[in-house]
Each structure stands twice: as C-alpha cells, then as structure tokens.
Amino acid sequence: MKRVLVTGGAGFLGSHLCERLLQDGHEVLCVDNFFTGRKENISHLLGNPFFELMRHDITFPLHVEVDQIYNLACPASPIHYQFDPVQTIKTCVHGAINMLGLAKRTRARILQASTSEVYGDPSVHPQTEDYWGHVNPLGLRSCYDEGKRSAESLFFSYHRQSGVEIKVARIFNTYGPRMRPDDGRVVSNFIVQALRGEDLTLFGDGSQTRSFCFVADLIGGLVSLMESDSEVTGPLNIGNPVETSMATLAQTILELTGSPSQIRYLPLPTDDPRQRCPDITRARTQLGWSPTIPLQEGLEHTIGYFRQNLQI
C-alpha cells in the first residue's frame, strides 16, 4: 500500500483516478480547491477509511508525507481556464513548483497531467512527442498552453537538477461520466444540449478534429505510466488515436440520443486547433498501453450518466 496524493482529485479525471487507486489498495489523499471540482464526484469515497479529502489550493505550499503524487489540479475546459487566466498560470507554475518541492523532500514519484495543448495548433499530424508545437504565446489559450509548457520544463529541471522521479503524460481530449453539465467542453456540451432538446452549438464549420479517449482508458494509461520503470519519464502521449471531426461528433450524438435538436453554427473561438490526434507509439511500446473503448461505446456510457443526472 502506498500513500498517494491526487491534486485536483475532486475533478472529472481526478475522481476516477482516486477510485482506481483505492481499488488498487492504496491510501489516497485528495487535494482540491473546488474551482471546477465537486464534492459529489467523491462523496461515495468519503466513508472509506483509506480516503482523505483536503480543501487546499496548490498555489500555496503543502506539507504532507506521501509516496506518489499525481498532479492533476488545473481547470481543463477553455471556458474555465480562461475565466481567471492569472490563477490558471499560477496553478500550472506555482502549483508545479510546490508539488515538485514536496516530491523532492519526500522522495515521492510525481506524475504531471500535461496536455495535447502543448502542441498548440499543430503543423505535424498526428502529433509525436518530439514535435515542439505551434503555440500562440499571447493568445487567450496561452494561460493554459504556456502554463502547462512551463510546468513540463519545471518537471524536467527538477529531474535533472535534483533527481526527482518524474512522469509526464500529455493527455488528449478525454470524456466520460462526471464531466460537469456546464463544463463547456464539446462532448458534455453536445450531450447536454441534445438531451435538453436545445440546439447543438457547433463552432466554425465543424471540420476541425479531435481524438476522444474514454476516461477508463485514460486512467489506465496514467496508472501504467506512474508504475513504469524509473527511466520512463515521458513525455508520453496518452489518448485515443481515432480522429473525429466536430460535425461528425455532433451527428453521432444526435443519433445516439435520438434527439430532435438542430445544429447551430457559431464562430470558431480564436486559436482553436484545426486538428489533433496523438501518435501513441511510445505509450504502446514503453507501457504496453493502448485504449480499448470505441467512441460510440464511451458516448453511450456518458449519455447514460447525463440522462440519470440531469434535471430535465
């Protein structure tokens, strides 16, 4: 049994990760400031004697004793990370410094939830880990993109300078139960709109692509990376390499929900990446990991979750 800290543990991915780590027999300390996280995501874990919840903002130092740290704290949806861009950068940078300092003192292994956004609007397709990216350093997304890039740089600096054992996962778009109805990301938006009979808000002409990974697959990838040999630092792309256009996604969700909703075309947000698809060769070879849940199956689970949880 290890003592595992999960920052952002009350969020979408964090809550699934806490659940998985408890199932694997670990003691879990969930730290969250509830900016986008919700108590109901982890309320079913509160009675477990091996689970502890702490309200804390990782931009401030944290003194605890742990063996492993998963650093997931950071809003992930563009509308939420752009709501308070300075706090987003602080969470990425000060949060990384605080968690790396904690890892250094406790000799804990630490995993960073980085993102495909480090590739920006990519000119290399599919994206491999050695591609340096194409990021607008001043734009509205930069608080997140550059924050996450700085965090990666901090992770490798602490590794080289202080020997901290690091793991960097570049997570591609992930979806599933426990996304907030007001999360703002495309899968939850389209499902909620379809179930409420509202227009689906399709930005641009819908030809931009993303590659969607179901949450259970993603969590498996993060745990495999954390448990991998110490030479495996990453960065490793963790995602599902099946690419879909947003127009096709909208159509699929309309079909799966049987919704009479229409599609409403809205302007494309600035710096919205045109295409995104992970090359997961490294994850396959270094971790023996690859996703197994097809989009349609994952969407059915997610639609089932929202049907149960939305007050319609």
Q: Does 249 contact ligand NAD by CB under 6 A?
A: no
Shortest Cβ distance from residue 290 to ligand UDP (Å)? 21
What residue has token string 């997304």?
Answer: 141
φ/ψ (deg, to 5) at 286: -85, -25
What residue has token string 């292994």?
Answer: 109
From the candidates 70, 81, 119, 144, which is the catalytic residue?
144
Sign of the C-alpha dihedral computed for residues 17, 55, 142 and 71 taken in this order: negative
Q: Does 243 contact ligand UDP by CB under 6 A?
A: no
Whichever of 51 and 144 has its CB closer to ligand UDP, that residue is 144
Which of ligand UDP, ligand NAD, none does residue 208 bind to, with CB < 5 to 8 Å depending on kind? Answer: ligand UDP
Q: Is 265 considered catalytic here?
A: no
Cα–Cα distance between 30 and 213 in angstroms, integer? 24
Contact, 171 vs 239, CB < 8 A? Answer: yes
User: What x/- string results for residues 114 through 153 when contact with ligand NAD is judged by CB under 6 A?
Assistant: -x--------------------------------------
Whichever of 184 and 206 has its CB closer to ligand NAD, that residue is 184
Neighbouring C-alpha atoms within 13 Å toward the C-beta of 282: 19
Burial of 133 (0-12, 13-18, 19+ CB in 10 A): middle
Of 45, 113, 223, 293, the one binding ligand NAD (CB under 6 A) is 113
Q: How far is CA 2 from CA 21, 38, 66, 101, in A?
A: 9, 25, 8, 19
Shortest Cβ distance from residue 262 to ligand NAD (Å)? 27
DSSP string, 263-304: EEEEPPPTT--S---B--HHHHHHH-------HHHHHHHHHH
* Number of residues binding to ligand NAD, judged by CB under 6 A: 28
Site for ligand UDP in 80-119 (CB under 6 A): none
Binding residues vs ligand UDP (CB under 6 A): 78, 173, 185-186, 189, 201-203, 208, 210, 246, 268-269, 272
Instruction: List the catalytic residues.
Output: 144
Binding residues vs ligand NAD (CB under 6 A): 7-8, 10-14, 32-37, 57-59, 72-76, 91, 95, 113, 115, 171, 173-174
